[in-house]
Amino acid sequence: MARRKVGAVMVTRDEKLVGIFTERDVVFRVIALDLDVKSTLLADVMTPSPVTIDPGKSFGYALLLMHQNGFRHMPVTEDGKPVGMVSARHALDPDLEEFAAESHRREQIMREMK
Domain range annotation of the chain: 8-113
pLDDT class of 63 with cuts at 50, 70, 90? confident
- The Cβ of residue 40 has, within 10 Å, a number of other Cβ atoms equal to 13
> Facing residues of 11 across strands?
19
CATH superfamily of 8-113: CBS-domain (3.10.580.10)
The pLDDT of residue 97: 63
Its pTM stands at: 0.74
Question: Residue-wise over 70-105: b if at least 16 C-beta within 10 A, else e?
Answer: ebbbbbbbeeeebeebbbbeebeeeeeebbeebbee
**Which of 14-28, 31-45, 88-102 bottoms out in mean pLDDT, i.e. has the lowest?**
88-102
Residue 30 has pLDDT above 90, yes or no: yes
Mean pLDDT value of segment 87-105? 71
